Structure 1
Amino acid sequence: MDNKLEKHQSKIFVNNMVESSIRIGLLFVLVVWTYDIIKPFIIPVLWGAIIAVALMPLTMKLERALNGKRGLAATILALLGITLLVAPFVIVSGSIYEAVARMTEVLQEGNVKLPGPTPRVAEIPLIGDKLYDVWALFSLNLESAMQKYLPEIKGAVSAFAGLLGSSLASLVMFIISLLIAAGFMAHAEAMSKAVQNVSVRIVGKHGEEWANLIAATIRSVLLGVVGVAFIQSLLVGSAFFIFGVPAAGLLTLLVFIFGIAQLPATLVGLPVIAYVFSVQDTTPATIFAVWVIVAGLSDNVLKPMLMGRGVSIPMPVILFGAIGGMITAGIIGLFLGAVILAIWYELFNTWLKLEQFGPEDISAGDKAQAEASSK
């Protein structure tokens, strides 16, 4: 009798194992297929949600000014954001196109005459002598210099072409994300309630608190990192354009990228300052140097003003997030990586501060659910 019961229980166990394996396998296949389908939309939707959270306070203010028209307020902000993205891109692209067109025209004419370096170039620390020799070679014998440095020139052109292609793709991604953000902002209440419900379901009684922390972190990082980088690039870039620095648009974009990656803007500004001192008089060059250095250090004043409301993210966290995001998702990853890593940092710190809770801390709903599941 016991032997028959044991065989019966063993058969039931095997049947349950096989059935569970089939269910888990089918669920795994469904998850993989679903991920492959939604993979192209993950980054723009995620970035759109982040933008919506950051702009929601501004949307509500604009909504009140428009007599409660939330959809119109969200649309205006999205169109304004697209304009702010497209206009600098057009300016930078126009600057690059003009430079390339002029260079091509000069090369076709065959009358290429580069000005030689001044003795001040050789006095630049560390790189002065090498820079002077390379510059002198290009100014005296361009054909020989091109042949000597042909592999380096090809590599630089290929990298530059790749950067332009990535920038255009990122611009399109930003536009799509802004349109998605407008949709999220227009239906903010429903989206917020859904996020809070999911958070409570996943985290428990602290879910709503964590959802609010995520929103505060997003606003803090976007204002304190992306906002500061944008303002700083405008300040430094205006000096580049006013003093007629070649490729000013591209250098301004580089300052913006450095700012998001939490790298000093002076890394871009100092070589430009050295160039301006080599080609202009002392007085305008000194004014330019002071302007660029002060603008490059402006983040030390702007970050405490814009980095928000008790959320303090260490700079290494932002740096690793920005660099890792850029490696993973290109230029848009600079923004996305910094925000996501900052969110995880804040959530981890909050989790560490939570006290351990016992059975008496379980909510009434959790108790009821536990009792129902035990029946």
Structure 2
Amino acid sequence: MENPMQHNQNKLFISNMMESAIRIGLLFILIVWTFDIIKPFVIPVLWGAIIAVALMPITQKLERALKGRRGLAASILALAGIILLIAPFWIVSSSIFDGVTHMIEVLQSGDVDIPGPTQKVADIPLIGDKLYDIWALFATNLEKAVLHFLPQIKTGVTAAAGMLGSSLGSLVMFIISLAIAGGFMAHAEKSAAAVSTVAVRVAGKHGEEWTSLTAATIRSVLLGVVGVAFIQSILIGSALFTFSIPAAGIFTFIVFILGIAQLPPLLVVLPLIFYVFSTHDSTPATIFTVWVLIAGISDSFLKPMLMGRGVDVPMPVILIGAIGGMITAGIIGLFLGAVILAIWYELFITWLKTEEEATTGSQALNKAEDKLVTAPGHDGANE
């Protein structure tokens, strides 16, 4: 039978436990509600921070040119970014709309004249005969061809409409992110101090170092992934425009997106090579092929040159983090994955250094004790 003191202690324990459970539950509910409220703003704020870190060196140069007016410099860059986003989207959308409108008018008038395929199309390895038959069917009997491929056409139109809607949503999100980035850049010192304070509070003395590592990794990924994708799209796009490939602007944009997604541009280039060989003479087709193939594999030597610059982390670590992050979390994962893996790498190196320092200190202490024991006049029994 328990005594009154033990009974009071049990009641006090149960009371404290219930009170703690209620507090933790209320705190959990508050956190969940707060996350639901801020969830729509998480991705734009993250993108805003990434853009601000990437553009900060340009902002500082523009600030010096504007005689110290940081707010004006940040606003100019944010507006320039918004214009650079809207202008290509508007041009591509207008081009697509005009093309679809023209196609509908041509189909309604019944005046459709599709040139037939040449023998060069049939000579293309593997797919030549099938491509020749499909092309010939559309050229000779368009109505029958449309009815035959109607399910595939519907699927393609639905996918294109979904892609257009998703692109419009992404455009609005990036415009908001650029506005947020302008605010971050205008108050860069206060933002950096706040981030450093939180990092030191969470991670201890290495927090400030990891904050600098995060900024450097973001710039490295921007150069090594987005920069390389941009260079590849320019190289391939120049070939497409030089050889007057239809819809060259759209294909160039697709190459840029594939480069950011770490997919080979050859997915776009190879079908275009077949097209050029079927419509051009052998010499220009060969020049086009060599041009786009070299541009397509240029990332193999551009990435080692650009990725990892300014970061004391091996390039493969950043590249693996960027690719894995993109697979897990989309385009923003390119940056988050690289940052997370870089921090883990620094943690691992810090742990190794700590172990080495501990081992070195222990060896030095043992050597000092050995010298003391073997010193003349030392009597171990008197210790």
Q: TM over 0.5: same fold?
A: yes
Aligned to 2:91: 91
Aligned in 2, Cα 1:98/1:276: closer, same or farther, shift over 3 Å?
farther
Which moved further from structure 2: 100-109 or 119-128? 119-128
Q: Please list, as runs of the form range in 1=range in 2, the aligned pairs for 1:176-325 lying within 5 A after superposition.
A: 176-307=176-307, 308-310=309-311, 311=313, 312-314=315-317, 315-325=319-329
Query: Aligned partners of 1:44, 1:144: CA distance in 2, in Å?
Result: 48
Aligned to 1:75: 75
* Alignment-mate amino acid for residue 309 of structure 1: G
Q: For 1:72-103, what per-residue CA distance to the aligned partner results, in whole angstroms no more than 9, with x for missing partners?
A: 11111112212222222222223222321221
Matched, 1:341 2:337: yes
Query: Aligned partners of 1:126, 1:65: CA distance in 2, in Å?
Result: 59
Q: Is the 8 A contact 2:321 2:340 kept in 1?
A: no
* Alignment-mate amino acid for residue 346 of structure 2: T
Query: Aligned partners of 2:34, 2:202: CA distance in 1, in Å?
Result: 21
* Alignment-mate amino acid for residue 59 of structure 2: T
Aligned to 1:63: 63
Q: Is the 8 A contact 1:196 1:207 kept in 2?
A: yes
Q: Is the 8 A contact 1:258 1:264 kept in 2?
A: yes
Query: Aligned partners of 2:238, 2:92: CA distance in 1, in Å?
Result: 13
Aligned to 1:330: none
Two-structure CA RMSD over aligned residues (Å): 2.1
Following TM superposition, by how much is the alpha carbon of 1:313 offset from its aligned partner in structure 2, in angstroms?
Answer: 4.1
Q: Is the 8 A contact 1:91 1:249 kept in 2?
A: no
* Alignment-mate amino acid for residue 303 of structure 2: K
Q: Is the 8 A contact 1:264 1:296 kept in 2?
A: yes
Identity over aligned residues, as a percent?
Answer: 62
Following TM superposition, by how much is the alpha carbon of 1:203 offset from its aligned partner in structure 2, in angstroms?
Answer: 0.8
Query: Aligned partners of 2:168, 2:338: CA distance in 1, in Å?
Result: 27
The TM-score, its normalising length taken from structure 1, stands at: 0.88
Query: Aligned partners of 1:78, 1:275: CA distance in 2, in Å?
Result: 40
Aligned in 2, Cα 1:309/1:163: closer, same or farther, shift over 3 Å?
same
Aligned in 2, Cα 1:103/1:284: closer, same or farther, shift over 3 Å?
farther
Aligned to 2:155: 155
Give the secondary-structure state (helix, strand or coil) at the position aligned to 2:351.
coil
Which moved further from structure 2: 272-281 or 231-240? 231-240
The TM-score, its normalising length taken from structure 2, stands at: 0.86
Structure scoring higher RCO (CA < 8 A, sep ≥ 6) equals: 1
Query: Aligned partners of 1:316, 1:138: CA distance in 2, in Å?
Result: 45
Aligned in 2, Cα 1:253/1:324: closer, same or farther, shift over 3 Å?
farther
Count residues with an aligned counterpart: 352
Query: Aligned partners of 2:254, 2:184: CA distance in 1, in Å?
Result: 31
Which moved further from structure 2: 158-167 or 290-299? 290-299
Aligned in 2, Cα 1:273/1:162: closer, same or farther, shift over 3 Å?
same
Query: Aligned partners of 1:301, 1:104: CA distance in 2, in Å?
Result: 46
Aligned to 2:104: 104
Q: Which runs of 5+ in 1 are unaligned?
A: 327-333, 362-375
Q: Please list, as runs of the form range in 1=range in 2, the aligned pairs for 1:41-60 lying within 5 A after superposition.
A: 41-60=41-60
Q: For 1:235-285, what per-residue CA distance to the aligned partner results, in whole angstroms no more than 9, with x for missing partners?
A: 222332343322223212210111011112122111112112212233433
* Alignment-mate amino acid for residue 171 of structure 1: L
Query: Aligned partners of 1:113, 1:318: CA distance in 2, in Å?
Result: 48
Q: Which runs of 5+ in 2 are unaligned?
A: 359-383
Aligned in 2, Cα 1:70/1:319: closer, same or farther, shift over 3 Å?
same
Following TM superposition, by how much is the alpha carbon of 1:355 offset from its aligned partner in structure 2, in angstroms?
Answer: 2.3
Q: Is the 8 A contact 1:313 1:342 kept in 2?
A: no
* Alignment-mate amino acid for residue 19 of structure 2: E
Q: Is the 8 A contact 1:262 1:318 kept in 2?
A: no
Query: Aligned partners of 2:32, 2:124: CA distance in 1, in Å?
Result: 56
Q: Is the 8 A contact 2:325 2:336 kept in 1?
A: yes
* Alignment-mate amino acid for residue 295 of structure 2: A
* Alignment-mate amino acid for residue 70 of structure 1: R
* Alignment-mate amino acid for residue 239 of structure 1: A
Query: Aligned partners of 1:92, 1:235: CA distance in 2, in Å?
Result: 20
Aligned to 1:331: none
Matched, 1:350 2:346: yes
